[in-house]
Amino acid sequence: MRICVISDLHANIEALSALPTDYDELWVLGDLVNYGPDPAAAIEFVRSRAAVVVRGNHDNAIALGADCRCSPRFRAMAEATSEYTRSVLNASDKQFLRELPTYARRIVDGRTFFLCHATPSDLLFEYRAPDSPLWEREEDASSRADVILAGHTHWPFIRTVGSRLVANPGSLGQSKAGDALARYAVWRDDHFELKAYDYPVEATVHKILSLQLPDQVKHDLVEVLRTGKVR
C-alpha cells in the first residue's frame, strides 16, 4: 500500500494539480482553503480523490464562521482571504467543509494511524514544534496509535518517539521551509519519506495579484509563496 499524505493545501490548485499520482490512497490533513485563489477547485480535487480527509482550522473558520486563531503575522492575510473564500464557495462546498471530521483513524498493514490537523490534544489550533517534548506524552485521542500524522505548522518532519512515529508532511500549498516547493509525504513498506516538487508558482502568484485584496496582503501572500519564508 502506497499512501500519499498532504496537508495545508490553502487553495493552491497549481500545486495540487502537479502532485504525483503514483499512490493507492490519498490522505489529507486539513486546510484545503484560505490564503490561495482557488478554494472551490481545491475542495473538488480532494472530494473526488481523497480516501481520508480531516478538518483544518481554516476549513473550520470558513465553514462555521469561527476564528482561525492564526499567528499574528498571518492574521491579516487570513481575514482578508476569508472574505474572498466565502464569496466564491457554494453551499455544497461549505457543507463539505462543515462535515469533515476533526480526526480520523485508519489501520493499514497492521499499523494504526491517527490523523489530525494540529495535535491529538488540540485537533485544530495548537502549534507544536517538531522537537517539542509534548510529542512524547500519551494523549487520549491518539492512544494505541502506531503513527500520528499532523499538519498545521507547515514544517515537515518525521520523528520516532518510543515505538511511535510522528510525521508532518509540510505544506503542499504554502511552504514555510525556505523555498517555493510543494511538500508531501509517502508511506510505503512500513516507513515514511518526505518529498517535495516544483510547480508553476508564478501562475498562483498571478491569480493572487488579480484578487480584490489589500496591497499589503497580496504582497505578503506572494512573498511567502515565492520564498517559503515569513518576514
Question: What residue spans of 7-105 are helical by DSSP H?
Answer: 13-17, 39-49, 57-64, 72-88, 91-99
Superfamily of domain 3-102+171-227: Metallo-dependent phosphatases (3.60.21.10)
**What are 137's three cell numbers?**
506524552
3-class secondary structure, 48: helix
Name residue 227's amino acid.
Answer: T
What's the confidence (pLDDT) of residue 93? 98
Report whether pLDDT(73) > 90.
no
Residue pair 196/178 in contact (Cβ under 8 Å)? The answer is: no
Q: What value does the mean pLDDT take over residues 191-204?
A: 97
- Which of 25, 32, 70, 29 minimizes the C-alpha distance to 50? 25
Q: What value does the mean pLDDT take over residues 121-145?
A: 95
What's the confidence (pLDDT) of residue 117? 98
What pTM did the predictor assign?
0.97
Any idea how long the chain is?
A: 231
Q: C-alpha 94: how far from its chain's center? A: 17
Confidence of residue 180 (pLDDT cuts 50, 70, 90): very high
3-class secondary structure, 6: strand
Residue pair 77/216 in contact (Cβ under 8 Å)? The answer is: no
- The domains of the chain are located at 3-102+171-227
What's the confidence (pLDDT) of residue 46? 98
Contacts of 127 (CB under 8 A, 6+ apart): 71, 118, 152, 153
Report whether pLDDT(231) > 90.
no
pLDDT tens digit sequence for 5-38: 999 999 999 999 999 999 999 999 999 999 999 9
